[in-house]
Structure 1
Amino acid sequence: MRSSLIVTTLLATAAIAGIAVAKSGAPAPATPPAKAKAAKPEIGSYGFDAAGMDASVKPGDDFFRYAGGGWLTKTEIPADRAAYGMFNVLQDRSLAQTKAILDEAAAKPGSKIGDFFASYMDQAAIDAKGVAPIQPWLTALNGATDKTALATEMAKLQRQGVGGLISFFVNQDEKAPDIYIVNIGQGGIALPNRDYYVKADPKLDAVRTAYQANIAKMLGLIGEGDNAEARAKAVFEFEKSLATAHWTAIESRDSDKTYNKWSADDFDAKAPGMPWGAIRTALGVAGEQNFVVAQSSAITGEAKAFADTPIEVLRDYAKLRVVRSFAGYLAKPIDDANFSFYGPILSGQAVQRDRWKRAVAATSGALGEEIGKEYVARYFPPATKAAADTLVKNVIAAMGARIDKLTWMSPETKAKARTKLASFTPKIGYPSRWRDYSALEVKRDDLVGNIARANAFEYARGIAKLGKPIDRTEWFMTPMTINAYANPVMNEIVFPAAILQPPFFDAKADPAVNYGGIGAVIGHEISHHFDDQGRKYDPTGKLAEWWTKADIDAFDKLTAQLVKQYDAYEPLPGQKVQGGLTLGENIADLAGLSVAIDAYHKSLGGKPAPVIDGMTGDQRFYLGWAQVWRTKYKEQALRSQLLSDPHSPGEYRTATVRNLDPWYAAFGAKPGEKQYLAPAARVRIW
């Protein structure tokens, strides 16, 4: 799963669109305006919020602000957000839709989803319990008198959702995708990534200082306040030693380097210092003989850090992992103290989200497909699914045509690429088989227990896959999720029901806007199977080289141009977009737009696109793309994204258009304008 596509929408009229184009110097339309549609879209007159444009900005200077500058000016980031954009608008819509389902269920005790939701909403009962719900775990950690016992207790807690020293999950073996295997990766830190511990930066220095103060505060809240400042510093230094061993975000993207097959015996030989046998037993995989280790040298370094650190420090660290993992489900003083760092300081989010929103999210995380059945019945009509299925079919066909026309790819590889494309499994809306939650116990008066049991249920579900056939019906997102993903090992693209709403998709909107929105998103996900990492998986989903060396060299030369282009963007002083980190997503944006506009043109059936409110079809297509990436950020959130997120900020995702010849024809961008690229400088991959 490599992709996460997120966007949002605002309502408006389109009356000023024609004026905006004329002032900005785009070519005049050649055909008269179309008659108004009988069925009005949710946004504007044709599916685009034209009132959110800024007519004073030339498209060729800054397409992001031309298409959304008015929205940027009038939109304030809500206090409970660190960033705000079209994705968040749609997310709030999905939360409200889901809340309606949960409110009804909560009114009838005995419903799993209703009782779970009610347990989260009972703030008084939660506050009355204080730290008691996690006290047995803290007591168990206190009783661990040696490192083997401590590591064992930590591994047991990991099964219930407490963050561990390592990441651990069951997934397909990428080199043998017909079997499941245990995957191990770097972990153990509570800040976003290694840069937050080791990078020299005054802003990050301030974060580190605040983080240590927060550690001391959290220790005090669980009754460990003696000498808290010194203990906090020691815990931070241990986390720093873990982070120092970690691979960078760019290194961790490499599918070849992150596939390292280790036997059970290899752990003691290659990563001495941790009681691996005891950990495997506590994690429930004592009988497994083979594992895939992602960041191999990081696991070696983490084991050494564990061995070199006094048990008293490790015990404090383990207690903090417990309280951090469950702070949001504990009494308000603990919840607020945890948020006081992770909200305002780390992300820029000023206040906690409404409790009901957090309750909806938690219940959806625990019982997502149980809620999803009702969500789909209420909010995802068959007509929407049918329209989305058609869009997917059209965009896949457009990708095939693009492959056929490539000049840099050999005929041999083209034939295999076509085979891979033909083997895609699109999953639209919801699973074909719903998950069974009958074994999950839910109590109306036990939030922490419900969270822990849900985590343990999901953990057990993963372990139970070992030795079983691959479940190709499984979804890794709920129908209520505003997102989409590509899974190269399954050779699938997945679009939950909730993302198939405005501004991504509206059956009543102009097709051009839909193709520029959800169509480009579909193309994005398809192309992830052919990006710098996805291309490494063959038509069966196996991690195996199937391109010729000449193809790889030609592809790498093209992607290096894209890395260089994004490396030049500087959203914050001294903090640029990392072209290497964001490469996969940038390739997917470029390819997604390229295939989506081809699919849009094909959908016209040889007829000219109508002009609507002064906008040509191609103009509306690109405006549909820009609309979904309208986003504003708090500085802290933007910095975090630049340091750790494989997605470029919305402004630079919008700027993908500067590589596309049809965009120049549509908006008349010309030399001397800031986003103009000479034809030879435009990156053309797919």
Structure 2
Amino acid sequence: MTPRPFACALVLALATGLTAPDAGAAKKRAPAKGKAPAAANACSDFYAYANSDWLRAHPLPSGGAASVSALGQLNDRARTQQIELLQGAMTAPQGEVQKLLGDFWASGLDEAAVERDGAQPIAPLLGRINAIKSAKDIPASIAALHQVGIPVVFNFGADIDLRDLTRHIGYLSQGGLGLPDPAYYTRGDAETRALLGQYTTYVEKILALTGTSPDKVAAEARLVVDLETRIAQASRPLIDLRTPRNNFAPVETSKLAKQYKRLQLGDFLKVQGVKDDSVSIANPALFAQLDNLAGSLKPDQWKAYLRWRVGDAMAPYLAKPFRDAEYDFRGRVLTGLPAPSRQQAVLDAINLAAGPMLGREYVNRYLPAATRSRAEEIATQVRAALGAAIDRDSRFSAAAKTEAKAKLDRLGIEIGAPKRDLDYSVQPMGRGSFGSNMLIASTWRHREEMKRIGRGNADRRWDVLPQQPALAYDIAQNRLIVTAAMLQPPVLDTGKDIAAQYGAFGALVGHELSHGFDNRGRLVDAKQELRDWWTPAETSAWDAFGNRIAAQYGGFAYTGLSGTRVNGTQVRDDAIADLAGVELAWAAYRNAQSSASKTAQQDFYKGWASLWAENLSPAAASERAATDVHAPGQWRANAPLMSQTGFGEAFGCKAGSPMQAAADRQIKLFP
């Protein structure tokens, strides 16, 4: 994951002094004058001490963002780099992929051309839909729209086969709705009905823009909402979709043609290029309903629905009337978010449809070989430190240690970009039509996504793009993933001492690797099979340790909020991982730099604290306190260090001081 910093504020020690007594017979004591607050030091609040310059230099903008953070700046820098790359590809492309990207970018920035284009980019799709004559024409149109990256009626994508984590299978799942929750179509409360009315107005606008005459637009919109309501009634509540097992039900693809004759799912898979022997259909009742609707509803209702779905999906990439209609509902009504700048909107479109293309070029430009090498070196040494920690972990039995070490031996480290590249043969884009380029790129990406389906393909790609800052442990594939965009300050600053690199990047690596061997990682064994390889005694020992962490964090005041404490139970699991990350990175650093100076050792801990620098508004802090599984930045920085003997020695902190717990109160994961 990309670590997310949280609410931060300086906790300052107050000092008071006494003035000299007044002259006079009564000798009254004058009122005390307050002195300026003492600056935090390393032993009182290391977060404030290490980040003092950053915090002063980055106040919250008045009337602007609710938070400013060091890691947020990393995200901003990655976006700026992407834009710089696309600008260069537009003016002087180096190679065919950059030519595609440069043309895509140029077509999106040319707003005058987008306006002239109107609805022309989707005209071929609308023409095919309008040519539907009978029920037998509907399945082919559904398949064709999926092929260009516009999922209609249902969703279909690649994901892990829970019977065999080394492969992906296709998942046929619920979708095809214009509203984000099926309940919006079926609830009867006034607020939901009002929202459905606003949605119907939006459907009318899009239908009018895709060719419906004014006298028919209201009737066609009702047909669209009626069809979507029928789909929603057979769909499961969103909460039921959160558990992977609930969404996994493999069936043989050879049986689909007979089971869903009118929907023609067998032919659908052939059009998508899928030749696998099984797919997952977790809600067969939904697909039975869809199969029935494909044969029972009149073609005109299907045509209205399909035209609406095309217009809605493509609205952000078409002329202003489409964009305005889409933003009025999805922006203002559903999310309340401001409209993105033109540049940001085009960048978002490229990442959506051609993200792996941009990622390939991003890695080539922004990830030096030396930086990749340093990241691999540190990650490898942290992995070795984890192996040594497992050996001495008293919570694990001999059998569990054997399983953990086998899993660790197989753990992969992938830095920068996925190991397997893609096929970049794509229809030329040109600069004439942004909407058409969006469809070309979306068709390409769908084609490449479908290649993930089949045996031995589960590690084909990441679920994050190289140009997006991310560092994550992939539990299914037992691999550490570090994107190119993540290997920049404050995560990996090659301009700083190597100690700081271990303290920041190394500790994040340790955090993520620990997830392979914690209460989540225990559910996947060394052979990538789903089974719990812990005993009840090991589970009990882990829970007892987790309770200590929860109690520790529950005693911290939530930074920036009066009268609120950190929810220790809520943040427990990631707090344990933070502690693991610091401990493992410190062990790896000391193994690599056994004679490090005290200054270098201090740099290690400063590197860790620098990750979490943030200024946050009270409203944002309040929201995160209620929902976030991470502690505020102040405590992410400070809490793991309070039990580190190395920290106390590096900064001369006495036992019992705020930043150095007494020996009998220290909490260590790998003592």
Instruction: Give the structure-2-normalised TM-score.
Output: 0.74
Q: Are 2:138 and 1:150 equivalent residues in the alignment?
A: yes
Taking the aligned partners of 1:502 and 1:325, their CA distance within structure 2 comes to: 37
- Offset at residue 546 of structure 1 (A): 3.6
Seen in structure 2, the aligned counterparts of structure 1 residues 373 and 271 have a Cα distance that, compared at 3 Å, is closer
Q: State the match for 2:413 in structure 1.
A: 426
**Hey, what's the Cα distance between the residues in 2 that align with 1:626 and 1:101?**
28
Whether contact under 8 Å (1:528, 1:584) holds in the other structure is no
2:328 aligned with 1:340: yes
- Mapped contact 1:164–1:187 kept (Cα < 8 A): yes
1:99 to 72, 79, 83: 83
Partner residue in 2 for 1:402: 389
Matched, 1:330 2:318: yes
Does residue 262 of structure 1 match 2:233?
Answer: no
Classify 1:448/1:405 alpha carbon distance in 2 versus 1 (closer, same or farther; 3 Å).
same
Pair 1:624-2:616 in alignment:
no
Counterpart of 2:289? 304
Query: Which secondary structure state, in structure 2, belongs to the residue aligned with residue 605 of structure 1?
Result: coil
In the other structure, the counterpart of 1:648 is 628
Paired AA for residue 82 in structure 2: T
State the match for 1:480 in structure 2: 467
The one of 126, 139, 144 aligned to 1:138: 126
Partner of 1:122: 110
Question: Is 1:537–2:524 an aligned residue pair?
Answer: yes
Distance 1:284 1:373, change over 3 A: closer
Give the alignment partner of residue 605 of structure 1, picking from 591, 594, 603.
594
Which amino acid in the other structure matches residue 73 of structure 1? L
Question: 2:432 matched to 1:448?
Answer: no
SS at match of 1:428: strand
Aligned equivalent of 2:401: 414
Alpha-carbon displacement from aligned partner over 1:242-292 (angstroms, at most 9, x marks no partner): 65444445x32x4x554432223666899999553454344344x543123
In the alignment, what sits opposite 1:227? Answer: 218
TM-fit CA distance, 1:170:
3.3
Distance 1:273 1:589 in 2: 53
Which residue of structure 1 lines up, in the alignment, with residue 642 of structure 2? 662
Question: 1:161-210 deviations in whole A, cap 9, x for unaligned?
Answer: 11334332335534334544323334334455567778999998876665
Residue type matched to 1:485 in 2?
Answer: A
Task: Please list, as runs of the form range in 1=range in 2, the aligned pairs for 1:566-581 lying within 5 A after superposition.
Answer: none
- Contact 2:183–2:237, Cα closer than 8 Å, also in 1: no
| Alpha-carbon spacing, 1:146–1:73, altered in 2? closer, same or farther (3 Å) | same
**Whole-angstrom distance in 1 between the partners of 2:253 and 2:130:** 29
Q: Percent same amino acid at aligned positions?
A: 25
Contact map agreement 2:250 2:278 (CA 8 A) in 1: yes
Aligned residues of 1:6 and 1:482 also touching (Cα < 8 A) = no
SS in 1 for 2:171: strand
- Call closer, same or farther: CA 1:207–1:400 in 2, change over 3 Å: farther
- Tell whether the 8 Å contact from 1:491 to 1:540 is kept in structure 2 after alignment: no
Name the amino acid aligned to 2:330.
Y
| Deviation (angstroms), 1:322 | 1.7
- Report the AA paired with residue 104 of structure 1: G
1:409 Cα deviation from its structure 2 partner: 2.7
Q: TM-score normalised to the size of structure 1?
A: 0.73
Deviation at 1:160, TM superposition (A): 0.8
Check conservation: 1:347, 1:634, Cα contact below 8 A. Answer: no
Q: 1:354-373 counterparts in 2 under 5 A?
A: 355-368=342-355, 370-372=357-359
- The alpha carbon displacement at 1:219 in A equals 3.2
Partner AA of 1:406 in structure 2: D
Alignment partner of 2:337: what SS? coil
Once residues 529 and 265 of structure 1 are traced to their aligned partners in structure 2, the CA distance between those partners, rounded to angstroms, is 37
Q: Which residue of 1 aligns with 2:272?
A: 283
Say which SS state the counterpart of residue 182 (structure 1) adopts.
strand
The letter for the 1-side match of 2:81 is Q
Contact 1:555 1:685 in 2 (8 A): no
Whether contact under 8 Å (2:502, 2:585) holds in the other structure is yes
Instruction: Give the partner amino acid of 2:233.
Output: S
Correspondence for 1:241: 233
CA distance in 1, matches of 2:261, 2:551: 40
Q: How many residues align?
A: 621
CA distance in 1, matches of 2:311, 2:625: 28
Change (3 A) 1:74 1:358: closer
**What secondary structure sits across from 2:599 in the alignment?**
coil
Instruction: Decide whether the 8 Å contact of 1:166 with 1:185 is kept in 2.
Output: yes
Whether the aligned pair in 2 keeps the contact of 1:271 and 1:301 (CA below 8 Å) is no
Distance 1:211 1:236, change over 3 A: farther
Q: Cα gap change, 1:318/1:401 in structure 2, threshold over 3 Å: closer, same or farther?
A: farther
What displacement does 1:426 show? 1.0
Distance verdict in 2 for CA 1:240–1:439, change over 3 Å = closer
Contact 1:657 1:663 in 2 (8 A): no
Structure 2 residue identity aligned to 1:27: C
Q: Does 1:527 align with 2:520?
A: no
Tell me the equivalent position of 1:27. 43
Partners of 2:189 and 2:233 in 1: CA distance: 18
Which residue type is aligned with residue 102 of structure 1?
A: L
The answer to whether the 8 Å contact 2:553/2:568 transfers is yes
Asked if structure 1 preserves the Cα contact closer than 8 Å seen for 2:550 and 2:568, the reply is: yes
Bigger drift between 450-459 and 579-588 goes to: 579-588
| 1:321 equivalent in alignment to 2:309 | yes
- Where does residue 57 of structure 1 map in the other structure? none
Q: Aligned partners of 1:307, 1:562: CA distance in 2, in Å?
A: 54
Distance 1:511 1:218, change over 3 A: farther
8 A Cα contact 1:159 1:283, kept in partner: yes
Contact residue 431 and residue 474 of structure 1 kept, 8 A: yes
Provide Cα deviations, 1:132-180, integer angstroms capped at 9, x if missing partner: 2213323433444555643432232112111334332335534334544
Q: Matches of 2:186 and 2:668 in 1, distance apart?
A: 34
**Alpha-carbon distance, 1:501 to partner:** 1.0
SS in 2 for 1:168: strand
CA contact (8 A) 2:177 2:228 kept: no
1:34 corresponding residue in structure 2 = none
**Quick one: distance in 1 between partners of 2:667 and 2:206?**
52
Are the counterparts in 2 of residues 6 and 86 from structure 1 also a CA contact under 8 Å? no
Alpha-carbon distance in 2 for matches of 1:145, 1:20? 81
Give yes or no for contact 1:212–1:236 (8 Å, CA) kept in 2.
no
Cα 1:451–1:622 change in 2 (3 A) is same
Match of 1:160 among 148, 151, 157: 148
SS in 2 for 1:352: coil
Distance 1:577 1:338 in 2: 39
After the TM superposition, which residues 582-593 of structure 1 pair with which residues of structure 2 at under 5 Å, given as runs?
588-589=577-578, 591-593=580-582
Q: Which one-letter code corresponds to 1:620 in the other structure?
A: K
Compute the RMSD of aligned alpha carbons: 5.2
Structure-2 change in CA distance of 1:425 and 1:564 (3 Å): same
- Measured after TM superposition, the shift of residue 216 of structure 1 is 3.8
Task: Tell me how far 1:493 sits from its aligned partner.
Answer: 1.4
